[in-house]
Structures are given as structure tokens and as C-alpha cells.
Amino acid sequence: MLWIKTYIVYKTSFNLKIENFMQELILFINPLSFLLFVFGISLFFKTEKSRNRYLLLTSLFLSFVLYANVAFYRFFTDFLTLPVLFQTSNFADLGDSAATEIHWFDFVYYIDVIFLFLLLKFRPKAMEIKPIKKANRRAYFLVAAAMLFLNIGLAETERPQLLTRTFDREMLVKNLGTYNYHLYDIFLQSKSSAQRAMADGSELVEIDNNISANFVKPSKKMFGKAEGKNLIVISLESLQSFVINNEVYGEEVTPFLNDFIKESFYFDEFYHQTGQGKTSDSEFLLENSLYPLNRGAVFFTHSGNKFDAMAEKLGKKGYFTSTMHANNKSFWNRDIMYEALGYDYFYSATDYDITPENSVGWGMKDIPFFEQSVDLMKTMQQPFYTKMITLTNHHPFKLDDEDKLIEEYDSKSGTLNRYFTTVRYMDEAVKHFIQKLKDEGLYENSIIVMYGDHYGISENHNEAMAQYLGKEVTPFVSAQLQRVPLIIHIPGVTNKGKGKTISKVSGQIDLKPTLLHLLGVNTKNNIQFGEDMFSSDHRDFVVFRDGSFVTRNYVYTANTCYSKETEEPVDDSYCEPFKEKARTELDYSDKIIYGDLLRFYDNEDYQKIGK
Ligand code: GP9
Ligand code: MN
């Protein structure tokens, strides 16, 4: 009964997008494995009375969990997570809103429990069963385990890396079921709580000393150059540098950006440093100048941490801070994480007018997204900082015919072939956006920063990529392909042809100090691993999340040291001096996140030990 009820609740009380038969099937079977296990425990009970009591209480408890999600969903269109329940600041809001979302007719959510209760009371005979043999019990649990593996197997084909990447709660619930999802959530939470509990402020001292010793002074010329201006950061989905100033069959892939670069600072040796958390990892880097994690998305695993984010700092400086992204707000746990980063507001799917006509693939198309965003921007208090996240240039790179502005490439990889067309569309969208900013009078008082969030073409497409590039994709070339464009436009500084290409080896970790310095905010005592990219002291060095790194002359990847000049392997000793630095940085950053060390930063005890 609970199984079928859960499925009915899925279909009636949550808004789960089901795209095909397989997804429907997974949804249908997903409560089963957990319920079989939990109710299976009753087979061990010696007396009928205790067994029945166990069944009834378990049904009641699980129905309550399901119902709590329903009530929460009514208000937040999201599923419960432990951090949400335990974040004290959420609690007051929660209580209030939960109360308004509870109705008398909600007893139907317990109808099976009521039925079970009545049955036990008035027809106990119907509940009698003979004691079960050991072998049968074993067979029962074998079936339950098989069910679990079937479920996980199907989910894995539908959503590869579901568990390691933990994309979205809706996806977890759709694929694993509410009950398993809660178990998984408890597991994630207890793991990070344990690591957090074991940490103390003393670890921060060494890290802090190391960071202070390596602090790079801001460029005198650029510090405060854009003070008081709005900051518009655009995360360009899956945009890699190889398409910039490049063509497909004689047509430019990014005609607008190619021009815009000439009116901006363009960093052509800038790398993404993301891991499994993809877009969210790039946001994490931008905001904190810390590395994301080796596995999983830090947005999910450590949203309860204390951070010292750019959004919060700018907020303190009087900026109105927001993110604009026309997607489900719980994707990458953004709604929760943005609170921790100190954003004032998150313009998500519900703030946009999204229709089937203006959507493709993952959701709202970039052109209408930008258009509606500028309208929202007009209502913002100035100066503002807003981060916009585009969506159309996302795998599988699908476009409606009318949006295809150039021809697809022709190789064995449909993904790469289509990629050029969606990049071209995104370029067009940015062009419209800039025009609209000008029309609305926002252009001249805003600095505009654009960066590619992470790669779009994975190594699975090396063969097609080699065909396009006209050379083999060696590990060296692969590392070079992790370059993403970074464009910084500062009105009055870079316009009218005064742009400049800067070829410093740098990465997303450098964004926070660079941008804060431009806006006149010092970062001297900050815990950060990035360096001001305009400073002449900035070191040519970038570490990838997997430990690979790039220096001015060398690339270290796949356990091999490559010379940038010859693109060939060279003696390991050339890379040796940087290995230690790469390892230490990643290690320190991980320690900060796992131990939630920034919570000690303002703390008096820390001040005593530390400074
Ligand atoms: C989803 C968007 C894409 O909201 O940010 O996520 P990705 O898969 O690129 O991380
Ligand atoms: Mn992305």
C-alpha cells in the first residue's frame, strides 16, 4: 500500500518531469527496494503483536516523511534535506510556511495507515501469518537487494554518475525514490559533520601563514578602477577557448565575441578548474577563490559551511547582489548555497516567463533569458552585482531550426558537430544582451565579465576534435583544451579599441581577487588561492582539480611533464618545482572545506593563536 501510495503522491503532489517510459518505470519501482528492506525487518519479530506494531509504526513514520515532503514542496517546490531542517535561520520560516500548507483533507495521505490500523483492530485474523522459514527470509532479502540493484542500474543508464555528481534533488528523488534519497542525504550530511567536528582552528594558522606569505599586491593602476560600477558576470555555458577567432566552413563561430574582445581585456591563457560539480564548481571558484572538491559537488556537500564570498563582501559594500538563472532553483542546491554565499536574491525559473516556445533542451533559450534579465536588472538597486548563467550551449547542444545560424560541422561526433551551432547561438544572445544594456542605459556604468564555466567537449570526442583541430589530441592538447575565454570589459578603460589580450597563465580561482580589486575592495587578509591577474606579480600558474597544472613553459598532466614550446614530453625535473605548490594548494583548500575552517576566522581564539 505504501509503495502504491508513494507512486500516487509522486504523480499528484510533486511536479516531476518525466520524459520517457524508462523514467516512468524507474519512478514506479523506486520506492520498492527501500520498503522491502524496512518491512522485511518485521520477519524477524517473534510475536505477532510486536510485529504488527512495528509495521504500523513504520508505515506511520514513513507516511509522515512523505507527507512532510509534500507540505514542504507545496511552499518551496523542493524536497527536504537535513541541512534545511537544521539550519536555524530556516527554521522559523519553515514553521510558518509549513503551517499554512497543511490542510484538513491531508488525512488522505495517511489513508493506508488508517486502513492498516482498522484492520489490526477489528479484523486481526486477516493479519495473521505463519512463522517464516530462514531460507524464505533469505530469499526475501535477496529479492529486495535485487530490486535495489535493478533500480540503481536503471537509474545509472538514465543519469550516469547520479550518485557521485548529485546534480539535483528532483533527479535523485526521480531515480532513487524519496526514501532512498533521504538515506543518501543523511549519509552525505553525517560524513561532512564528522569531518567538521574533528577540525579546529589551529589548522587554519598554517594555511593562513602560507597564504599571507604568497599574497600578491593589487596592480596600482587597476585597483579601484571600476569602483562604484555595477558588476555583471556572465557564466557562458560550456564555452571553450578553441572556438574564439575560429571558423567552421568559413563562418566565424563567435563573431560577436571576437569583436567584443577588442574592446575588452581578453585572457587567452585562462583555464577552468572545475570538477564533478561543473557549473556550480565554477561558481564556487568565482565566489570563494577556493578549489572545488575532488568528488561530488561542494554546492551539495558543504552548503552549511561558513564562507567569505565575493557576493557577501560586495553586499557589505552596499551592492545589491543576485544570481540570474532560468532553471529550477534547487539544481546544484543553488537555493541553499546562495544563502551561504550571501546573495540577496536568486532570480530562478519562477522569476522568468518560460514557455515551450522560448525553451529548448535544458530550458529557456539564452536570447529570451537575457532579454527578460535586463528588464529585471532595471528594477535592481544600483550599484548591483549580478551573476548570469546561460543554458542553451549545454550538452546535448540541441537547437530549434530557426536558431541555427551556421552549419553544423561534419565529423563522427554529433556532439561536436552541434556544439558549434549552439556556441554561435550563444554568441548571438550575448550580442543582443549588450545591445539591450546600451539601450537601457546600463552599459556605461557596468563592468561586464564573461567566462566559460567548463569544457563542453569531453575526451570522448577526441577523434572528432583531432579532425577539427588538424592534430592529434594528446594529453598535452587535452590540457590546453581546458582553456576557457575570460573577457573583462570596463567602460571608459577598454572601449573604443583600447582592449588588450593578456596571456598570463591563470584560472577561475583568480577571479575573486581580480574583480574585488577592480571594485576597490582589498583582499589582503583573505583566505584565497587566487591572485590579481592585473598585478605584475601574478604568477603564471594554474592547478586543475585533478592535480594537473600549467606554468609559463610547462604543462604537467597524465603524470608527464610537457614543454609548451615543442608540445612534447620533457624530463620530469622541469615540472618538479611546481608539483609541491600544486599539491599543497589543493590540500589546503580541501582542509578548509572539509573542516569548515573559515568559521574560525573571525573567532577570538583563532585571533589569539593566529595573529
Ligand atoms: C544547470 C546548469 C548546467 O542549472 O548550470 O549545469 P552543468 O551540467 O553545466 O553543471
Ligand atoms: Mn555548465
CA gap 294, 273 in Å, rounded: 11
DSSP state of 254: S
Work out the percent of the chain whose per-residue pLDDT is above 70: 95
Please tell me the predicted confidence (pLDDT) of residue 609.
Answer: 45
Mean pLDDT score across all residues of the chain: 92
Give the pLDDT band of residue 47 (cuts 50, 70, 90): confident
> Is residue 188's pLDDT more than 60?
yes
pLDDT for residue 360 is more than 70: yes
How distant, in Å, are the alpha carbons of 163, 295, 548 from that of 545?
19, 10, 7
What are the structural domains, with CATH classification, of the chain? 2-195 (no CATH), 221-533 (3.40.720.10)
HSE-CB at 350 with a 13 A cutoff on CA atoms is 10
pTM value is 0.84
Was 444 annotated as part of a binding site? no
The arithmetic mean of pLDDT across residues 213-238, rounded, is 96
Half-sphere exposure for 86 (CA within 13 Å, toward CB): 11
- Determine the angle formed by the axes of helices 21-29 and 2-13, rounding to 10 degrees: 130
For range 364-373, the mean pLDDT: 98
Least confident of 366-375, 381-390, 486-495: 486-495
Question: Which residues have CB under 8 Å from 358's CB, separation 6+?
Answer: 364, 365, 368
Of 279, 301, 321, 474, the active-site residue reads 279
| Higher-scoring residue by pLDDT: 364, 48 | 364
Cell of 98: 509549513
**Predicted pLDDT of residue 95:** 61
The response to whether residue 394 sits with its C-beta less than 6 Å from ligand 1 reads yes
Lowest mean pLDDT among 89-93, 156-160, 245-249, 321-325: 89-93
Q: What is the mean pLDDT of residues 133-143?
A: 94
State the pLDDT at residue 97. Answer: 63
CA of 296 to the centre of ligand 1 (A): 14
pLDDT value of position 15: 87
Instruction: State mean pLDDT over 440-451.
Output: 97
pLDDT single digits (tens) 525-569: 899 999 999 999 999 999 999 999 999 999 999 889 999 999 999
Cβ of residue 279 lying under 6 Å from some atom of ligand 1: yes
For residues 578-604, give the mean pLDDT. 90
The CA distance from 203 to 225, in Å, is: 36
CB under 8 A, 24+ apart: contacts of 69-74: 69/14, 69/178, 70/9, 70/13, 70/14, 70/106, 70/109, 71/98, 71/101, 71/102, 71/106, 72/98, 72/101, 73/13, 73/14, 74/13, 74/101
Compute the average pLDDT of residues 354-372.
96
528 Rama class: left (phi>0) / alpha (psi -120 to 50) / beta:
beta
Active site residue 166: no
pLDDT value at 235 more than 80? yes
pLDDT of 86 higher than 70? no
The helix/strand/coil state of 64 is helix
- The pLDDT of residue 17 is above 90: no
Name the residue with the closest Cα to ligand 1, atom 6.
279
Evaluate: CB of 331 within 6 angstroms of ligand 1. yes
H, E, C per residue of 312-334: HHHHHCCCEEEEECCCCCCHHHH
**Over the stretch 421-431, which tens digit does the pLDDT of each residue have?**
999 999 999 99
Type of residue numbered 278? K
